[in-house]
């Protein structure tokens, strides 16, 4: 059984991004880039399924610029067996629908039993790619997974939903997107980083896959959110209650 | 021009997020229709027909729609999609699950989590955990949108009298099934609809302390309870209480953060609250930078004192 794990290279979650002064985007020059944290959870889950003997091969995929190779090496250091980069030009605004189409083409080629990916990327916060891939490949989906049990032809997935949890049974192949509580990714060790350098990494182009990756949404501008005015410190609980009652009038 | 809203409901009743989505739909222009896809959800369909500004309710009923399985709900939406210029879902767990399937099948981009409608094809949406606001224009003929409910006022729940039309249910996709749910039963207001929220963080130290300290204050204020990711990961609070970039986005009248340091991912979920109170003993905690009222104090003393003082 094969698993595909799509991973995205994003601005590291600890970086507070700045909007460019020309309002054409956020400044990502010289900013630390990392694997999207939800995708890291996806790689970890796939590798654990392999370690349990339920899966034979874990293939990491990334769509984007040449530097996504680093992200793929990280995935292989966690334990993915090989990787595929769908390389796109640096000036292309690659959007979720296009990524889903690229992934669909690779699903057709690789025929995995499972695709696991993050529920959203922390840069565009779109929360679309997994679901789009699922419908394009005509597969069932379980988003926001906090538990995955894999059997020969089925996956039982517990999902985080509004109000609590629900469990779905999916026939394989299927698409699963990860939530925070699914697992805690391991730290990659130096020997594994070295090993990952020797693993196979293939590069293809969108044209090779016959996919049109032209953006559908045009970003007209990117601006700073409205700032909250600085508040005040209150001396004690009595002062707080007084403010809430008489100034803010919220209680 | 016709605009379709996909109702959020639990079959028994309509969820508040539907009302904010109707407001966003009306801003796109044209008549607003609401689809209620469920099982024995007649009461929810009736409620939808009462919403001010709704011209028609389409009610699809089938066992396969009972649990909101994405494959089946998306197919139901797609069956009527061609009538509409815009299809809007609330950006809830349910809406986010289904909308991309509809968009991709229609071969259109989805515009996620909009907070403002600038024109029928141009919208504002937060990116990078709300640290930037993107203005995006869709070139697609049909717009599939999820709506951040805190960005739009709720439409009036009554005052409308739309006709309820029954639509034939689409067939069960048959590739997934619902096994069970664990929905926390609570008399508290829903987190995303609450006027007051009391949130606890890692500083609470244990589930017992979280309950012991946070619950009385929430009870006293009739508030919903929220939590930071750290508190949820540590098991102090249930996952569906997480407020933040990847949890719930809230904007109550009053948000009280107790023992929450204020990571950007948490601020992303609550900084649109009207009044923010931070109680934290660390004077450098980033939460104070967004708080209207900051109380630098040990929460284990301050919160019980606050309960007594109210």
pLDDT tens for residues B55-84? Answer: 999 999 999 999 999 999 999 999 999 999
Summary mean pLDDT of chain B? 96
Q: Which H or E element spans position A149? A: strand A141-150
Q: Which residues of A touch B294 (CB under 8 A)?
A: 231-234
Q: Say if A119 is an interface residue toward chain B (CB within 8 Å).
A: yes
Find, among B232, B259, B235, the residue nearest to B248 by Cα: B232
Instruction: Report CB contact under 8 Å: B254, A218.
Output: no
Residue B92 confidence (pLDDT): 96
As a whole number of angstroms, the distance between CA B147 and CA B153 comes to 11
Chain A residues close to B107, C-beta within 8 Å = 97
d(CA A140, CA B29): 34
Chain B residues 117-136 with a CB less than 8 Å from chain A: 122, 126-136
> Do A250 and B239 count as a contact with CB atoms less than 8 A apart?
no
pLDDT in tens, A155-186: 999 999 988 999 999 999 999 999 999 999 99
Q: Calculate the alpha carbon distances from B196 to A235, B14, B85, B188 in Å.
A: 22, 21, 36, 11
Q: Determine contact, residues B200/B214, Cβ cutoff 8 Å.
A: yes
Closest CA to A182 of A160, A150, A208: A160
> A234 vs chain B: nearest CA distance in angstroms?
5
> Beta-carbon neighbour count of residue A113 at 10 Å?
18
Sign of CA pseudo-dihedral A191, A60, A111, A117 = positive
Q: Which residues of A touch B232 (CB under 8 A)?
A: 180-181
- Would residue A19 be called left, alpha or beta, if left means φ above 0 and alpha means ψ between -120 and 50 degrees? beta
pLDDT at B185: 81
d(CA B302, CA B292): 17
State how far residue A206 is from chain B, nearest Cα, in angstroms: 17
Cβ(A115)–Cβ(A143) below 8 Å: no
> Is residue B190 over pLDDT 90?
no
Residue B275 above 80 pLDDT? yes
Task: Specify whether the CB–CB gap between B39 and B63 falls below 8 A.
Answer: yes
- Predicted confidence band at B184 (pLDDT cuts at 50, 70, 90)? confident
Residues of B in contact with A181 (CB under 8 A): 232-233, 239
Q: Which of residues 96-115 of A touch B (CB under 8 A)?
A: 96-97, 100
The C-alpha atoms of residue B96 and residue B112 are separated, in whole angstroms, by 8
Give the integer Cα–Cα distance in Å for A36 and B62.
38
Instruction: Give CB contacts under 8 A, 24+ apart, made by B239-244.
Output: B239/A146, B239/A160, B239/A165, B239/A179, B239/A181, B240/A160, B240/A161, B240/A162, B240/A163, B240/A164, B240/B184, B240/B191, B241/B191, B242/B269, B243/B191, B243/B197, B243/B199, B243/B269, B243/B270, B244/B268, B244/B269, B244/B270
Contacts of A247 (CB under 8 A, 6+ apart): none
Residue of B nearest to A95 (CA): B109
Distance from CA of A127 to the nearest CA of B (A): 7
pLDDT at A202: 98
The pTM of the full predicted model, rounded to 2 decimals, is: 0.94
What pLDDT, on the 0 to 100 scale, is given for residue A153? 94
> Across-strand partners of A61?
A6, A84
Residue spans of chain A under pLDDT 50: none
Closest residue in chain B to residue A217, using alpha carbons only: B138
With CA atoms as reference, report the closest residue to B294 among B282, B304, B309, B308: B282
Is the alpha carbon torsion for B126, A12, B277, B241 positive or negative?
Answer: positive
Residue-wise DSSP of B33-77: EEEEEESS-HHHHHHHHHSTTEEEEEEEE-GGGTT--HHHHHHHH
Query: A229 to chain B nearest CA, in Å?
Result: 8
Q: Do A228 and B288 touch (CB under 8 A)?
A: no
- Total residue length of chain A: 251
pLDDT band at B193 (very low <50, low <70, confident <90, very high): confident
Q: What was the pLDDT predicted at A163? A: 85
When pLDDT is averaged across residues B108-116 and rounded to a whole number, the result is 98
Task: Flag whether residue B38 sits within 8 Å of chain A, measured between CB atoms.
Answer: no
A183 to chain B, minimum CA–CA distance in Å? 10
How far is the CA of B248 from the CAs of A227, B53, B67, B92, B251, in angstroms? 21, 27, 21, 8, 10
For A121, nearest residue in chain B (alpha carbons):
B128
Q: How far is CA A151 from CA A52, A86, A156, B181, B281, in A?
A: 12, 30, 8, 21, 49
Size of interface A-B (CB pairs under 8 A): 254
Cβ–Cβ of A248/B254 closer than 8 Å?
yes
Average pLDDT over residues B142-147: 98
């Amino acid at each position: 059984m094969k698993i595909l794990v799509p991973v995205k290279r994003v601005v590291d979650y600890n970086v507070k991004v700045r909007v460019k002064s020309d309002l054409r985007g956020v400044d990502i020059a010289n900013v630390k880039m990392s694997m999207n944290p939800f995708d890291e959870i996806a790689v970890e889950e796939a590798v654990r399924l392999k370690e349990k003997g339920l899966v034979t091969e874990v293939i990491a995929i990334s769509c984007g610029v040449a530097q996504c190779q680093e992200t793929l090496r990280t995935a292989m250091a966690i334990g993915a067996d090989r990787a595929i980069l769908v390389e796109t030009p640096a000036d292309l605004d690659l959007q979720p629908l296009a990524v889903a189409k690229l992934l669909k083409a690779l699903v057709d080629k690789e025929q995995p039993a499972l695709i696991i990916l993050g529920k959203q990327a922390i840069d565009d916060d779109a929360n679309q790619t997994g679901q789009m891939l699922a419908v394009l490949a005509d597969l069932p989906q379980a988003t926001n997974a906090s538990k995955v049990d894999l059997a020969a032809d089925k996956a039982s997935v517990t999902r985080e939903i509004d109000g609590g949890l629900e469990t779905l049974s999916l026939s394989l192949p299927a698409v699963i997107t990860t939530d925070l509580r699914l697992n805690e990714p391991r730290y990659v060790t130096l020997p594994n980083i070295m090993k990952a350098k020797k693993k196979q990494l293939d590069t293809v182009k969108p044209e090779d896959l016959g996919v049109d990756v032209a953006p559908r949404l045009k970003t007209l501008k990117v601006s700073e959110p409205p700032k909250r005015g600085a508040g005040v410190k209150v001396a004690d609980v009595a002062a707080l209650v007084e403010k809430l009652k008489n100034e803010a009038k919220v209680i | 021009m016709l605009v379709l809203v996909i109702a959020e409901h639990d079959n028994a009743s309509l969820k508040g997020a539907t009302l904010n989505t109707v407001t966003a739909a009306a801003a796109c222009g044209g008549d607003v229709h609401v689809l209620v896809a469920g099982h024995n959800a007649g009461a929810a369909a009736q409620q939808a027909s009462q919403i001010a500004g709704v011209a028609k309710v389409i009610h699809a009923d089938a066992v396969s729609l009972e649990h909101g399985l994405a494959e089946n709900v998306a197919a139901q939406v797609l069956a009527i999609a061609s009538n509409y210029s815009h299809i809007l879902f609330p950006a809830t767990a349910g809406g986010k699950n289904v909308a991309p399937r509809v968009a991709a099948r229609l071969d259109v981009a989805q515009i996620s989590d909009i907070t403002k409608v600038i024109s029928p094809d141009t919208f504002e949406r937060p990116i990078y955990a709300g640290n930037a606001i993107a203005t995006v224009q869709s070139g697609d003929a049909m717009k599939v949108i999820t709506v951040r409910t805190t960005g739009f006022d709720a439409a009036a729940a009554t005052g409308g009298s739309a006709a309820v039309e029954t639509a034939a249910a689409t067939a069960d996709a048959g590739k997934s099934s619902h096994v069970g749910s664990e929905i926390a039963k609570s008399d508290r207001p829903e987190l995303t609809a609450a006027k007051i929220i009391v949130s606890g963080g890692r500083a609470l130290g244990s589930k017992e302390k979280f309950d012991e300290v946070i619950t009385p204050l929430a009870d006293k204020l009739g508030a919903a309870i929220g939590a930071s990711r750290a508190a949820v990961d540590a098991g102090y609070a249930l996952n569906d209480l997480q407020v933040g970039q990847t949890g719930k986005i809230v904007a109550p009248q009053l948000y009280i953060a107790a023992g929450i340091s204020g990571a950007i991912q948490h601020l992303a979920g609550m900084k649109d609250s009207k009044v923010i109170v931070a109680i934290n003993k660390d004077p450098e905690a980033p939460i104070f930078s967004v708080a209207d009222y900051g109380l630098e104090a040990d929460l284990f003393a301050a919160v019980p004192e606050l309960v007594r003082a109210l």
